Chains A and B, each alone.
Chain A
């Protein structure tokens, strides 16, 4: 499979995701934000970081960049799109995903490994995980507090569009296992067609036992199914 990682000024997880994708046998290309054409690709990744220094709102400026018009076109034609951390924030700013990411409830930048529960494993991104599997994945963000309107939250539940929720190591989903104040402990969501996934945790940091664990591996291998 072919993948493209979009790079903005201030992206800082673009190399990590490129290494993870190549390790998982993707043929990857880096795409600078000023490009006006995407290479032929099966997966577009909008990586983590601090695009444009988080000016205005996290992801707001990157969400209006040249390449984003092409990403929107490709996404609407069914191309797989994965937004991680700042990438998730950017996808909400483009409107490809609904909702938004507010400042963490405790106003602190949180960098730690947290537990996540796989909420839907019938998707292109999650089919290699067992249902309700508990993962340990790193989060590193200041604005990860997912918020959306009542209609959207209803749609997310009804259409099974919640990908991951924050939980404790036993799988309990409650306020104590919610690191940032996200609505309903939501850590990642799909669009209606489930070809776009936005998530605050960093699966690309969890593909090697040597530096962390391999809980992110199945997300990338799922895409080959």
Chain B
């Protein structure tokens, strides 16, 4: 079973990298750009048949290692 995990910085945490990417795109002429937040993406394959068990395991991986809960939010999607 495969999952996609998307990690983003929380709303009130400064994202200087996202800001630089945003400024560059604006400089390149993408004038309708409102905002950019940079994040991380993981594709995780779990050897498990039951979806809720598998999701619980992925959630545990996020909480224990992949995500810094002080500054980051995450979402898990089945793919």
Contacts and interface: CB of A to CB of B under 8 A. Distances in A.
Nearest to B16: A107
B20 A147 contact: no
A77 interface: no
A102 B66 contact: no
Contact of B71 (A102, A106, A181): A102
A104 B16 CA distance: 8
* Interface SS majority for chain B: helix
A28 B10 CA distance: 41
Given A107-B20, A147-B71, A149-B70, A102 B65 contact: no
> In the complex, which range does the number of interface residues on chain B fall in?
10 to 19
A100 B16 contact: no
Interface in B27-79: 64-66, 68, 70-71
B17 interface: yes
A100 B68 contact: yes
B36 to A, nearest CB: 15
A56 B13 contact: no
A148 interface: yes
Given A107-B20, A147-B13, A100 B70 contact: yes
A149 B13 CA distance: 10
Given A102-B14, A103-B16, A57 B70 contact: no
Contacts, number: 32
Nearest to A57: B68
A99 B66 CA distance: 16
A148 B68 CA distance: 12
Nearest to A93: B68
Nearest to A106: B16
Contacts of A147: 13, 70-71
A102 B38 CA distance: 14
Contact of A105 (B14, B65, B71): B14
A130 interface: no
Contacts of B65: 56, 60, 64
Contacts of A149: 70
Given A102-B71, A107-B20, 7 more contacts: A56-B65, A57-B68, A100-B68, A103-B17, A107-B17, A148-B70, A149-B70
Interface of A: 56-57, 60, 64, 93, 98-100, 102-107, 145, 147-149, 181
Q: Can you list the 9 inter-chain pairs with the closest CB atoms, starting with the nearest?
A: A100-B70, A107-B16, A100-B71, A100-B68, A57-B68, A103-B16, A105-B16, A64-B65, A147-B71
Interface of B: 13-14, 16-17, 20, 64-66, 68, 70-71
